[in-house]
């Protein structure tokens, strides 16, 4: 299982969470990555944790102001990027462009989608993985694997029907090791987390709990 911790725009200390994640990954052997805001990428990657970007734009180096260039986030230490998070939905043509831009810069890609039909669509663009996150469960504390297990299984089937090489992650409400095991049982090979770790009093303890059953 791949555990990807999205720090969103939370007022947390990104370096503290990143350090906790780096240590939890080392001690458990579980792959754990942290996705801070662009301006924190360098500070986070210096902790040694696997670092991801929250977004990249479908642009090439050149006359672009205010955009997130794939090459630049790679240069700042990112190994991969989310695209099309439910808090940052993009046009289909731009999603294609962002996945191509990420590939160009050597970044892994996880495209978010909110139902199995969109998971199938995203898989057709050839990212490394697609993450299904029902928007109505994000931030609720109710894990998608429990509230709506069918959506995870349907997403796994939808992606497999389009391109078996595309992994399926799931997200929304995941915070315990039990949720992780449930997600894995449904066919997911990774999970997206956010507040459960980023807003925890003790991020390291939250991560240890999470990966304990693996």
Distances (CA, A) of 111 to 44, 175, 207: 22, 21, 23
User: Measured from the CB atom, is 67 or 181 closer to a second copy?
Assistant: 67
The DSSP element (H or E) to which 168 belongs, if any, is strand 167-171
Which of 67/146 has CB closer to a second copy? 67
Q: What angle do CA 111, 113, 118 make, to 5 degrees?
A: 110
Find the shortest distance in angstroms from Cβ 192 to a second copy.
Answer: 10
Catalytic-role residue among 40, 50, 55, 133: 133
Spatial distance between the Cα atoms of 189 and 208, rounded to a whole number of angstroms: 18
Contact 108, 81 (CB under 8 A): yes
Q: Which is nearer to a second copy, 161 or 205 (CB)?
A: 161
Residues lying near a second copy in the complex (CB under 8 A) are found at 6, 8-11, 37-43, 53-55, 59-69, 71-73, 75-76, 82, 84-96, 113-115, 117-118, 120-126, 138-139, 158, 161-162, 194-195
Residue 133: active-site member: yes
**Residue with smaller CB distance to a second copy, 29 or 62:** 62
Phi and psi at residue 78, to the nearest 5°: -75, 140
Residue 112 forms beta bridges with which residues? 131
Please indicate if the annotation marks 147 as binding a ligand.
no
Alpha carbons 4 and 21: distance in angstroms, whole number: 10
CB 211 within 8 A of CB 24: yes
Out of 40, 55, 85, 153, the active site residue is: 85
As given in the structure block, the two tokens for residue 4 are 């990807």
Residue 138 in marked binding region: yes
In the complex, minimum distance from the CB of residue 10 to a second copy, in angstroms, rounded to a whole number: 7
Q: Would residue 103 show up in a list of annotated catalytic residues for this protein?
A: no
Tell the smallest beta-carbon distance from residue 94 to a second copy (Å).
8
Which residues are known binding-site members?
6-8, 138, 173, 194-195
Which residues are known binding-site members for substrate?
6-8, 138, 173, 194-195
Active site residues: 85, 133
């Amino acid at each position: 299982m791949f555990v990807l911790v999205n720090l969103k725009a939370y007022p947390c200390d990104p370096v503290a969470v990143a350090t906790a994640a780096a240590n939890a990954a080392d001690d458990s052997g579980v792959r754990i990555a942290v996705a801070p805001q662009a301006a924190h990428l360098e500070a986070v990657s210096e902790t040694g944790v696997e670092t991801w970007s929250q977004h990249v734009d479908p642009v090439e180096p050149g006359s672009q102001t205010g955009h997130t260039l794939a090459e630049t986030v790679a240069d700042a230490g990112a190994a991969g990027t989310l695209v099309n998070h439910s808090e940052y939905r993009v046009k289909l043509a731009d999603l294609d462009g962002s996945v191509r831009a990420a590939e160009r810069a050597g970044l892994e890609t996880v495209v978010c989608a909110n139902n199995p039909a969109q998971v199938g669509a995203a898989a057709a663009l050839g990212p490394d993985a697609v993450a299904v996150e029902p928007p109505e469960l994000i931030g609720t504390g109710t894990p998608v694997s429990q509230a709506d297990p069918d959506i995870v299984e349907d997403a796994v089937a939808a992606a497999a029907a389009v391109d078996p090489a595309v992994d399926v992650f799931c997200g929304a409400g995941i915070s315990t090791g039990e949720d992780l095991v449930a997600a894995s049982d449904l066919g997911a090979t990774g999970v997206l987390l956010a507040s459960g770790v980023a807003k925890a009093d003790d991020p390291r303890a939250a991560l240890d709990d999470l990966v304990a059953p693996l």
